[in-house]
Structure 1
């Protein structure tokens, strides 16, 4: 009988704590459109500023070589065009 009482108390305590938590509160309906516009942060392909997506979907830094130069195999160093 003692195990049943403790089990019911634990279940009741768990249910009471679940009803009090608010993991994702619902905003008022009149402010929903304004909140969604300000919550969006534009980024370059999901990589952030100064980065771009590579051929296999990974994030790579943007390196710009001056005219007469070309990027190397890894794109991290500029080499002169010969």
Structure 2
């Protein structure tokens, strides 16, 4: 009988703690975006992008009909 009462008490306390916690409160939807935030490409800045291993690499702009090479340093013709 003591075990049943202790289990019921533990379950009730656990449910009370779950309902009272606010791990992620909801934010209002009508907030305007802050004007002091500057969007950049993946955190690297303008003219740069993230490489396959997460490092910042420069963006080389190849002309139409060309594509950048494996490391983005040369332009190769599309075939």
The normalised TM-score by structure 1 is: 0.48
The normalised TM-score by structure 2 is: 0.49
Greater helix share, structure number: 1
